[in-house]
Structure 1
Amino acid sequence: MGRKEKKDFQGKGFVAEFRKFITRGNVLDMAVGVIVGGAFTSIVTSLNQDILTPILGIFGGTDFSYLSVTLGGGENAPVLYYGKFITAIINFLITALVIFCLIKVINALSDRMKKKEEDKPAAPTTKKCPYCLSEIPKEALRCPHCTSHLDEKKENR
C-alpha cells in the first residue's frame, strides 16, 4: 500500500465511509431481514420437528430425527445422525416453499397495484388551438403555428 492509501484506511475518511455504509437503508433492512429470518427458521424447524415429523413417522413407522448409524464398535464410536440430516432437508424444503408462496402473493399484490396506477388516464399535456386546430402545449398563451393569441373564452368553446 502507498502512503496515501494507508492514511485513508487509518484516517477520518475510512471512518466516515464506514459510517455512511452502516447507516444506509439497505444495511439496516438486511439486518432486520436476518433477525426475522432467524425467528422464521425456528418456527419452521418447530413445525417440522414437532408436527410434520411425527405425522410422517405414522406412515413410515419411524421418526426421521432418531435415525442413525454407529460406525465401528466401542464406547467412543462415531455416530452418523442421518435422520437429523433428512430433517434438515425437509426444513429447507418447507422454508423454501413458504417463502416461494409469500413472494408469489406479494408479487400478485404488487402487480394489482401497478395495474390500478396504469389504468388511471394521464392528465393531458396539450390542447387544440381554437383557430388552426393544431396541437399545442397546454400552458401556451400564443399558438406557435398561426401566432394567434389564445383567449380563455374562445378556448373553452
Structure 2
Amino acid sequence: MLKEFKEFIARGNVLDLAVGVIIGGAFTSIVTALVNYIINPLIGLFLGSIDFSDFIIKVGGASFKVGSFINAIINFLIIAFVVFLIVKAVNKAIPKKEKEPTVDNVAIEVELLTEIRDLLKKEK
C-alpha cells in the first residue's frame, strides 16, 4: 500500500496540482492585498469612508458586514478573470488535437476504397 501511495504521489498530475494550490494561495493573498489596499480606498472615496471593508449596515441588533462581502466578491471576480486569461492563453499555446475519424467515416472510407479497388480490377 505504501508503494502504491508513493507511485500516486510521484505522478505528474498530483505534483502539478500541489504546485497549483501553492501558487493559488500566494496569488489569493496578492489579490486580497490589491482589493484591501488599492481598490477599497478608491471605492471608499465615493462612499465617504476610507476603509471600505468596515462598511456595515445595522438593522435592529444585527450587523451586516456588506463591505467584507463586497471585498470577497471583488476578490473572486479578479481571481476568476485571471484564471480565465490563463486558461485562454494555455488553450492558444497548446495545439488542438485533430479529431480521430469516427467509426462511420472509417466504414465509408473502407467501402469507397473497396469499390475503387474492384473497379480497378475490372479495368485490367
1:45 deviation in Å?
Answer: 0.7
Q: Which residue, out of 81, 88, 93, partners 2:77?
A: 93
Write out aligned runs for 1:66-77 (5 A).
66-70=54-58, 72=61
Give aligned-pair identity as a percent: 53
Equivalent residue, structure 1, for 2:67: 83
Amino acid at match of 2:55: L
Do structure 1's residue 105 and structure 2's residue 93 form an aligned pair?
no
Higher share of residues assigned helix: 2
Q: Give the 4+ runs in structure 1 shifted more than 4 A.
A: none
1:100 deviation in Å?
Answer: 1.0
Do structure 1's residue 64 and structure 2's residue 47 form an aligned pair?
no
**What value does the CA root-mean-square deviation take over the aligned residues?**
2.3
Do structure 1's residue 31 and structure 2's residue 15 form an aligned pair?
no
Equivalent residue, structure 2, for 1:145: none
TM-score by length of 1: 0.53
Distance 2:12 2:84 in 1: 25
1:108 deviation in Å?
Answer: 2.3
Once the two structures are superposed, what CA deviation does each residue of 1:82-127 show, in whole Å capped at 9, x if it has no partner?
211110111001111111122222322334xx6xxxxxxxxxxxxx
Q: Identify unmatched segments of 5+ residues in structure 1.
A: 1-13, 73-77, 115-157
Distance 2:2 2:30 in 1: 38
Q: Which residue, out of 20, 26, 30, partners 1:43?
A: 30
Q: Identify unmatched segments of 5+ residues in structure 2.
A: 97-124
